[in-house]
Structure 1
Amino acid sequence: MMTLLEPASLARLTFLLLALLTLTAVPMRPLTGAVAYLVLWVVLLRFPGPYADDVAITHAALFFFLGRFLPLRAALCLGAAVPLATVVLATPPTVVLYLFLLACTLPPGALLRRRESTLRQEISAGEERLEAVRAEVAREMHDLVAYSMSQTVLRARSAAADPSYPEDVRQELHAISATAADALHELRLVLRVLRRTQAGSTLEDPSATSQTVVVGLDAALQAVADDLSASGFSVTLRSTDEGECPRLQAVTLSRVAREMGSNIMRHGTTDQSVTITLAKETNQVCLVMTNGTSPNPAHDLPTSGTGLLGMRERLAAVDGSLSTREEDGSWTASAVVPLEPPPALSPEIPP
C-alpha cells in the first residue's frame, strides 16, 4: 500500500515501524502504549513526507486493542483522539476513514472484554460454589464418618483388651482397631486439606498431609501384604533396595499399593497366590502386583468403580503411570514412578 503512489521513503518506513512497535505495547501496557501511539500519530501528522494513510491498518488494530484492554469510556476517549488530531492537523476528508475504522473495530474489542469479564465472574461464582461444597463435605465427613470410625476404633480396642475373648479373636480385634485408627487418621488429614482449601490456603508440599501416615515404602507394602494374608490370600513380597525413594514418591506408591490391595480383596481369588514386587532402580521405582481373578471373588465387598482412575490420578501428579493386564485368569497391575521430582507439581493430591 505504501508503494501505490510513490516508492516508500525512509521516513515513511520509520514511522510505520515505530507505529508497529508502540502498537505491540498496548496489550501489555494498554494506557501507556495507547498514549505513546497517539503521540507518534501527532508527530507523523506534523512531519513532512509521510502519509497519514500509511498507518491506517495499525489504527484499526489500535482501536480493537483499546476496546479489548481498556474500559469503554477510556477506549472511546483515546480512540476519538485519532480523528480529532486529524481534523486539527491534517485534511478533514481522512477523518471519515478513521471514524469508520473506529466504529468497526472498537466494538468487537469491547464485546470481547465484556465476555471475558463475564467468564471471570462465572468462574469466580463456580469457585465459590465449589468451596461451599468442600466445606459441606468436610462437615458431613467429620460429623458422620469420623464419628463412626472413632466408635469403631474405641469398641475394637475395648474388645481386644477383654480377657474373656480367645487370643486369636483378640488379635483380630486388635488388627481391626489398628486399621480403623489408620483410616481415621487419614480421614482427618483429608478433612484438613478440604478446610485449608476452603480457607484459601495451599500446601507447599503435596506430601505434607501424609508424612505421619507412611513411615517407609517397604513398611507400607508389608502392611498391605499382612492385610491380604489376614484376609486369606497367600502373599509373596519381593523388594530390591537399590536406591532411596523420595518421600513424595513413597507416599504416592504406598497409597497406590493400598488401593491395589483393596482391589485384590474385592475381585481376587484365594486359589492363586498374590505376588507383590517392588523394584527400586536408579531413576525410577516400579511396583507390580499380580493376583488371580475369578467370577466369584473371595470377598463380596462393595466397589465404587473409580479405583483405577484414582491410582492414575495419583501417579500422574508425580509423572508416574499405571498399566494393567488380565491374561489367563491372572490380573497384573504395574505402577512406575520416576525418582526425579516433576518440574511443576499440582497443588493438591486427590484424597
Structure 2
Amino acid sequence: MDMTWAQVRDRLRELPAMDVVIAVTLAFIGLAQTLSRPSGLVLLGVLAATLPQALRHTHPPLSALLPLAGAALLFLDEPYPQQWPLAVYASAALSFYTLLKLVDRRLAWIGGTLVTLGALGLAVVTWYWEGVDYGVTRMMVFLVAAAVVAGVITLLADVRRSRTEVTQVRASNLETLREQAAMAERARIAREMHDIVAHSISMIAVQAESAPYTLENLDEPAKREFAEIAGSARQTLSEMRRLLGVLRADTPRVQETEPQPGLARLPELFREHGGPVDLDVVGEQRPLPQAVDLSAYRIIQEALTNVRVHAPGARVSIELAYRPDVLVMRIADDGPGPVATDRGSASGHGLVGMRERALGLGGWFNAEPGPAGGFLITVGLPLE
C-alpha cells in the first residue's frame, strides 16, 4: 500500500526515542569504520544491519531479521566476519536478543545453545584443519567470543523473560486479591444491610398485625388488607433470610442481637482508637438514614484502623458536613503519607471497603496524599 510522506513521518514519530538513538549511533559508528574502503555494497550493508534496531520494540520480527540481509551484503564484500565493523556485531547481538524474546522459552534455549556450541565447534574445526597462524588465531578468537556472547545473550533473554512473567503473575495476584477484598467487603456490607432491612420489614409486619387491635371501627376488608400486608412482610423477610443467610455463616451469633453502630457511637470509637482525634461538625446535625449512618461509621472506623497501621501516633482530623442532600466526610491525618496508592489495613480491606460502601449508596469516594502531608480521605454519602 502506498504511503504519503506525512504517514511515513507519523510512523517515524511513533518509534521509541531510545531505539532511534541506538540505531542511528550504530549506523554512524559502522559507517565511520568503513571510510577506509567505501563502496555502495558496504554502506548499504552497514545501514541494513544497524538501522532496523529502531524497530526493535514496534516491529520486533523486522528488527531481528532485516540485519541478516545487511550481513549478507557485507559477506559479499568481505567473506571474513572478523573484518566487519564492530557496530554490526552490536546490532547482531541486539537482533539475537530480540529474536530469543520472541520465541518460546524452550525454543530460545535450544537456539541459543545451538549457536553457542556451533561457534565453539567451528573454532575447534578451524584450529584442527587450518593449524595455527595469525589469520586462524583471529578467526578462532572471533568464534569463541561469538560463542560467549551468544551464551550470555541467551541467559539474559531468559532472565528478562522470567522477570516479565514474575511481574505479570504479581499483577494478576494483586488484582485477584483486590477482587477478593472487594467481594469480602461487599458480603460484609450485605450482611449489615440485611440487618437494617430485616428490622424495617419486621416493624412493618408487627404494625400491620397490631393495627386491627389498636385502631377502632375497622371493617373486615381493612382487617384483611392489614393481614395481607403482615403476611407479605413475613414472607419477604423469610425469603430475604433464605437468600442472604449464607452471608452470615462467618458472623458470630453474638452479633446478631447487637444493634448496628452509627455516628452516635463515635466517642466510643475514638476511645478505642487511642490516638489524638479532632472532630468538627459543620451544619445542623440531624438523624441519618440507617444505611448512611452505618456506612459513615464503618468508613471512619476503617480510616482510623489505617492510621494505626500506617501512621501510628498521627493526629486525625475528621470533619462531618451536613448538607441538604449529602453527608460529606473529610478524614485527614498528619502522618508520613501513603506508601502505596491504595492503603491496606489490618482487616485486609483498606480503601477497597470504604470505596465499596460509598459507591454502594450512590455516593463518591476519593483518597489521596494530603496537601500538607499525611493522607486525606473525602467521602460523600447521599441522604436520599
TM-score w.r.t. length of structure 1: 0.41
Q: Which has the larger radius of gyration?
A: 2
TM-score w.r.t. length of structure 2: 0.38
More helix by share: 2
